[in-house]
Amino acid sequence: MKKLENKTVFITGGLSGIGKACAIAAAKEGANIVIADMQSKENETAMAEIKSINAKAIFTECDVSVFTHMQVAIQKTVDAFGSLDVALNNAGIGGEAHKIGDMSEHAWLKVINVNLNGVFNGMHHQLAQMAKQKSGVIVNMASILAKVGFASSAHYVAAKHGVIGLTQTAAIEYAEEGIRVNAICPGFIDSPLLVKGGISENKEVKQLIVSLHPMKRLGKSEEIATGFIFLASNESSFVTGTALEMDGGYLAQ
């Protein structure tokens, strides 16, 4: 029996990177897939790849920073498949690199609105649906920077610290309703987010980032997906309120 057979899995930011890897992994485990993301040129290609594994997959355009967009996306999920069994709040952006004193209000709010408010918006509507069902699993994509600081990334660090707080609080509030809530804290992953941040193109910066991990390499999106499947499935039935570190040893230093 597949680990997510006939379960409905909702993923934000699922057209690329970690989100796409998690969607593919869930599809392989028999799940119905709902991808909530911004429209992009990757849409058709990514959805075709997911549907080639499990045809029961749909896309809904969604800006996670808009409260009502998330409400509509969750309703579309329930309308299409009848339930919401697993939600992965994965959508996120890196933001501009500045010291706090040099960071503009716009740059701060842009990251906070997506990386923190976006997770709250998702959880608000996901938890309401799961409470009706008396069952469900939520996984929030945090970061190693949810537990430590990182120069020139105050907006990202603050948002991801907030994600851990939301995760722990929701886990306590909804445990008796049959809902589990956990987070994943990846290290630096070789993904489109690094490309957008210019890290992949700068060999010196990339090597510096690699050197921060005791395993001396970047992680792979597919590796993070294995942690997602564990937390999404019954294999983690007694796990809630935790943050799974998948970081090549970064936080052990």
Place of tokens 């959805």: 47
- Say if residues 120 and 166 touch (Cβ distance below 8 Å): yes
Distance of CA 224 to the CA centre of its chain: 10
Q: CA 179 to CA 21: how far, in whole Å?
A: 24
Q: CA 42 to CA 29: how far, in whole Å?
A: 23
Which of these is catalytic: 156, 174, 228, 250? 156
Distance of CA 111 to the CA centre of its chain: 15
Q: CA 195 to CA 42: how far, in whole Å?
A: 15
Q: CA 105 to CA 67: how far, in whole Å?
A: 21
Question: Which residues is 24 bridged to in the sheet?
Answer: none
| Catalytic status, residue 250 | no
Residues tagged active-site: 156
